[in-house]
Structures are given as structure tokens and as C-alpha cells.
Amino acid sequence: MKELLHKVRIGNVETEGSIFLAPMAGYTDRIFRSICLEEGADMSVTEMVSCEGVARGSIKTIDLMTRGTNEKILNVQLFAPDAETARRSAEGVMKASPQILDFNCGCPVPKVVKTGAGSALLKNPQEIGKIVKALKEETGLPVTVKIRTGWDKESINYLETAAMAFSNGADALTMHARTKSQLYSPYANWETLTNLKENFPDRVIIGSGDLFSAEDGVRMLKETGIDAIMYARGAIGNPFVFKQTKALLKGEALPEISTEEKIEKIMVHLDGLTQMLGENTACREMRKHVCAYLKGIKNSAKVRHMVSTALTIDEYKEALKQLT
């Protein structure tokens, strides 16, 4: 059996290991990506970046592609409804100096799908192929594709989609093991990942879906035979999951994360957001992260209530004192 923790080659880029942070809109900004990399993630991916926004020169869109301070591999996730839009964005995307481009064909959010982008492209694998080809031609960078198993249970077509992507030059494929219609429940069908890898044994296959702990990550790698995994929701409030997964893969004991360590990481996270957004906006943005960081900690309800209105770093510090 192959080593479960190993370097992964995506085009001309090689990662140090096989445990990645998935792209998540509203969460994987450069601050959170940097924190996850510090905690052992081998690669991170930006929030979804609109090709149309880049082509139009939108400052907010372009800012999403800013590299994190410790981000050696900048992997930018793009979305667009067609190859022409993707092609028009290439010049602007390249100004961010990315190492890899990931194209989203899996987002199920209505405002994205209704434009013909995200999961809507699962209905048109040929267009996915055209998009991959366009990005490869215009940028010369490795291109990966993020998909789901299909639009719904009546149209499971991930093998066709994968074949179209790979035949047009995709360097890797990530699959969330659910259909678009399933959104995020019920359980992800990991057997589809096994089948995908068996059908494309020489291609880089990355899996996601229902990875909420280090044990989940190890189990997915062992059960499916895929090359790498991506933590998404399981990393929110728990960037420690990367070093925990690596410890288990090395046969070591699962590292325990103390309340003090979580508090320290919350403040590092908040300080980073403050530098990026300013104190008031950062404190608002941090609320959703803190609730996740505090999950499972006794007597944290009062802290969550206090930070729900916090607008300064000092207010966060005062709230977190309740835990010590």
C-alpha cells in the first residue's frame, strides 16, 4: 500500500504532503489560510474568485487573490460560466503570480448556479473541458478542477466530467462526494472517490466531504486510495486538524489541543484580520470563527454571547478571560 502522507505533484508544482485546506467562500481569506499552513496544511486554496470580476478589474475580487505571508503555493480558485469568460480573466489572474489555478464546478449556491457557473457546469462536461483548455493556453499554469458527483441522483456523471477535464489538460481533480442537490447532507458517498481513483489510477485525485476530524481524514485516505484530502468545514475553528492528521498518519498519538492554545490562536487570527480589515470589521468577521473555535469547550456560552457584540480587540480579550 502506498504511503498515505506523501508529496503530491500537480503539474510542475510539488506539495510537501497530502493534507490540504479546501476553498470556502467567506472563510479561506489569506489570514485563515496562513494559520492553517502554520498548523500543517500542505496547500491552501483561495476563496472563489469571479473570472468576470477579475476581467472587469474589481478591486474586491482581485484582493481575494492576495498571497498569504507564508503561502509558498498560491492556488487561486476561479469560477465562470464559460471558457470565454475564463479566458478574459487570465491576464488579471496572472498579475497575482499564482502557482496553480483551481476551477470550481462544484459550488451549489443558487446565486452562482443561476449564472451557469459552479455546479451548473456539471450539466455540461464539454464546457468544463473547454474552460480547462482555455486556462491552460492562456496561463501555462497547472489547472485543477473541483467537481461533485453530479447534478442529482438521476445524473451521476463524475466519470464523464473527470474524463473531459483530464483530456483537456487538467492536472488534478478534487471531488466532493455528493451531488449538487444534496448540498451538504446526508452523508458523502466515499465509494465514488474509490471508483474515481480506480478509473483514473495515474491521475491525481483529491477527496472532500464529511472530513470533520483527523480520524476522518485518515479513514478517507485508507478507504478510497485517493492521493490527497481537503478539509473544508472541518477546519473552521479547528486549524489544528492538519497537524493532528499528520500525527495519526505517522503512527503518533493524537495531539491534544488545550483551551489556552485555542485562545492564543483566536487572538492571532483576530490580529491578522485587524491588519487586513481594520479593527471594527475584523471583530465582526471574527465572530463566526470564534463560535467554531469554542465548540466543545465547557462554559463557552457566555463567551460566545459576549463576542456577538464585540467591536474591539479589548472586548474579545475580556470575553476570552471567562475561559481562564
Active-site residues, by number, are 107
Q: How far is CA 161 from CA 122, 125, 177, 268, in A?
A: 7, 5, 14, 41
Grid coordinates representing 138 are 492562456
- With vertex at residue 267, the alpha carbon angle to CA 266 and CA 273, rounded to the nearest 5 degrees, is 90
Nearest-CA neighbor of 294 among 38, 302, 121?
302
Max intra-chain CA distance, the chain: 57
Q: With H, G, I as helix, E, B as strand and everything else as coil, classify residue 205.
A: strand
Please give the backbone phi and psi of residue 101, each rounded to the nearest 5 degrees, phi first: -115, 130
Nearest-CA neighbor of 205 among 161, 259, 245?
161
Grid coordinates representing 212 are 470533520
On whether the CB atoms of residues 184 and 215 are closer than 8 A, the answer is no
Q: Name the DSSP letter for residue 39.
A: T
Identify the helix (H) or strand (E) that includes residue 9: strand 8-10
On whether the CB atoms of residues 135 and 101 are closer than 8 A, the answer is yes
Q: How far is CA 15 from CA 5, 113, 208, 219, 303, in A?
A: 11, 31, 18, 21, 38
Q: Which residue has the cell 454571547?
A: 305
